Amino acid sequence: MNPSAQNGRGTSPQEARKRLMEGNVRFSTGKMTHPGNSPERRAEIAKGQHPFAVVVGCSDSRVPPELLFDQGLGDLFVVRLAGNILSDEALGSIEYAVDHLNVRYLMVLGHQRCGAVEAAVKGGHAEGQIGSLLRAVGPAVQKAGGMAGDRVENIVVANVGLIVDRLKTSPPILKDLVEKGELVIEGARYDLEEGTVKIVQ
């Protein structure tokens, strides 16, 4: 059976990570199988969803998780905001996937040349609600302040790490499951040019 046509219910964190990373290898090497997009699959998931992983990603049009991981309909529960930041609503969506859909693997996916991070580095005044995005990235800017290397890329990774830490310690749902060893939360970075995803935390 094509792995992406499997029901995600009961998928272990280890198997979920494996499925994601194997799919990314297919994507980055141009060997995508485009699984789980048939009319039959659409009819199957119309009855209910059982995604095998949550991906918290950036809204950037170049970083669509379903494509980067070569997954199909119903496979991933995706939460996307610019800078892969967390709002209360985003956190509630994640908790829903974990608590009600029984997803046991969560990946926070940052990416190369993130526009939200670049804007936060530049600083200055931002119109409308864009400023709220830049403020959300602020702690990562501070954390990566003295690190050697590319500043933007350092902040991208620092931002992922801070979000992972926040999710792992978010009570009561996520924190309890992490402490019991029933939920795995990891951070990763996507390379726009290579098309590869690497675990960074």
Q: Average the pLDDT over 136-163 and give the result.
A: 93
Q: Average the pLDDT over 111-136 and give the result.
A: 90
Cross-strand partners of 78: 55
CA distance 69 to 35: 11
In the chain, where the domains are located: 3-111+170-199
Q: Is the peptide bond prior to 39 cis by the omega test (within 30 degrees of 0)?
A: no
Angle made by CA atoms 196, 198, 201, in degrees to the nearest 5: 160
* Burial class of residue 56 (count of CB atoms within 10 Å of its CB; 0-12, 13-18, 19+): buried
Cross-strand partners of 80: 57
Percent above pLDDT 90 for the chain: 85
Q: pTM to 2 decimals?
A: 0.93
CATH topology of domain 3-111+170-199: Beta-carbonic Anhydrase; Chain A (3.40.1050)
* Burial class of residue 164 (count of CB atoms within 10 Å of its CB; 0-12, 13-18, 19+): buried
CA distance 86 to 167: 9
Exposure string over 92-107, b if 16+ CB within 10 A, otherwise e: ebbbebbeebebbbbb
Mean pLDDT of the chain: 93
**Cα-flanking dihedrals φ and ψ of residue 129, to 5°?**
-90, 0
Condensed to tens digits (0 to 9), the pLDDT of residues 12-45 reads 999 999 999 999 999 999 999 999 999 999 999 9
pLDDT at 7 over 80: no
Q: Average the pLDDT over 67-89 and give the result.
A: 97
**In the numeric block, which tokens belong to residue 145?**
């302040």
* Burial class of residue 88 (count of CB atoms within 10 Å of its CB; 0-12, 13-18, 19+): exposed
